Chain A
Amino acid sequence: MTVEQTEARPEAKRWLCEMCGFIYDPEEGDPDSGIPPGTPFEDIPDDWMCPICGAEKSDFRALEPGEFPEM
C-alpha cells in the first residue's frame, strides 16, 4: 500500500486591524475593493485601507494560529 504524500500547504494567516478590530480573512478577501478571495494579506496593495475604519496596512498585525479575538 502506498501513501501519497503531498506537501502540506501552510494556512494563510488572518490579520487584525489594531485600530478597529476588523479581521482580514484571506479566504474572503475584500472583493468590493478588488481583492479577490484567496488573496494573502501580504499580496494586498500597499494603498489598501481597512474597510471598517480606513486604517492602513501597517496598522494590522498577523493573528497566530489558534488566536480568535472574534470569540
Chain B
Amino acid sequence: MITGYGHFVQLAESLQWDETAIDLTADIEAWPKLEQEESDQVLGLLAGFCIGETSVATHLTSFHGAATTDDRMDQVFQAQARDEARHARFFDRVVREVVGVPGANMTERVDVLRDRVSPDLVELFEERLPAVAADVAEDSDNLTAAVGLYHMILEGVVLTAGQHALLETLKGCSVAMPGTHKGMELVLRDERWHIGFGSRVIQSADIVDDQMEELLTQGVKAASAWGDLISTDDIGKVEHLHQRRLKSVGIKFW
C-alpha cells in the first residue's frame, strides 16, 4: 500500500529547493575540458531532460483540473507541476550556462537540442503526452490512463533511466561537474515521490488485468527510447523496477 494524498502534500512542501542556488562555477570550467565522448553523452542526456521536463511541466496542468473527486489529489498534482517547472528551469540553466546552447529562451534552446535525442523520445514527450493531456482535459474519466502513461511510464521508466544514466555518466567523467550532479540528485529525489503519487492513483483506481498488462508492455518498450545513451544493463534494471512497481500497485488497497 501507499500513503494517502495528504502525506504527499506534506512531503512536497518539505522537499522544495531553488534551482538558481546551485553553484555551476566548477561545471562551467569543467565543460571544455571533457573528452568529446563524455560531453556528447552528457549533452545527449541533458537534451532528453530538457525536452522531457519542458513537456511534462506544460501538460501536467491538465491533470489537476481533472482530479475532481479529491481536493488533496488536486493539491498534489499542483505541487508536482511546480516541481516539474523547476526541473525544466534547472536543465535549461545547465545547457545555457554550462554548455552554452544558444537561444533567446527555453523553447529556442529545446529546438536546438531536439536533434540530439532519438525520435522515439521526442514522440513520447511531444506527441503522446500532449494527446493524453488533451484527453484528460476533455474528460476527467481519462485521468487514470493519463497517470499510467505519465507517472508509470514517462517518469517511472524513461526519466528514471535517464536520471541514473546521467548520474553514472557524471561520476565517470574525467572532470567533475558537481553542480549538475547535485541538481540531478535533487530532481531524482522529487521524481521518487511523483512516482509514488502516481502509483497511489493507479492503486486507488483498481484497474483491471488487461490494462495492467498494457502498462507493463508500454513501459518495457519505453525504456529503449533513449537509444544509445542508456546501456542495455540499465534498461534491464529500470524494466525490472517497472514490473515490480506495477505488481505492487496491483495489490488491493484495504
Contacts and interface: CB of A to CB of B under 8 A. Distances in A.
Q: Which 4 A-B pairs have the closest CB atoms?
A: A20-B196, A21-B3, A19-B192, A53-B192
Contacts of B195: 20, 52-53
Interface of A: 16-23, 25, 28, 30, 32-33, 49, 51-55, 69-71
A17 B196 contact: yes
Interface of B: 1-4, 6-8, 11, 160, 189, 192-193, 195-197, 199-200, 241, 244-245, 247-249, 251, 253
B245 A21 contact: no
Contacts of B3: 16, 21-23, 69-70
A33 B251 CA distance: 15
B31 to A, nearest CB: 29
A69 B3 CA distance: 5
Nearest to B11: A21
Nearest to B238: A54
Contact of A70 (B2, B160, B193, B247): B2
B11 A52 contact: no
A49 B242 CA distance: 13
B7 A55 contact: no
A53 B249 CA distance: 12
A21 B244 contact: no
Contacts of B2: 20-23, 52, 70
Contacts of B245: 51-53
Contact of B193 (A16, A20, A25, A32): A20
A19 B189 contact: yes
Contacts of A71: 4
Nearest to B249: A52
A19 B196 contact: yes
B160 A54 contact: yes
B196 A33 contact: no
A51 B247 CA distance: 9
Nearest to B200: A21
A30 B248 CA distance: 8
Given A21-B8, A22-B248, A32-B244, A52 B196 contact: yes
A56 B244 CA distance: 15
A70 B196 CA distance: 12
Given A49-B241, A52-B249, 14 more contacts: A18-B11, A20-B192, A20-B195, A22-B248, A23-B1, A23-B3, A28-B251, A30-B248, A33-B244, A51-B244, A52-B199, A53-B193, A53-B245, A55-B192
Nearest to A23: B1
A32 B247 contact: yes
Contact of A19 (B193, B247, B248, B253): B193
A70 B4 CA distance: 4
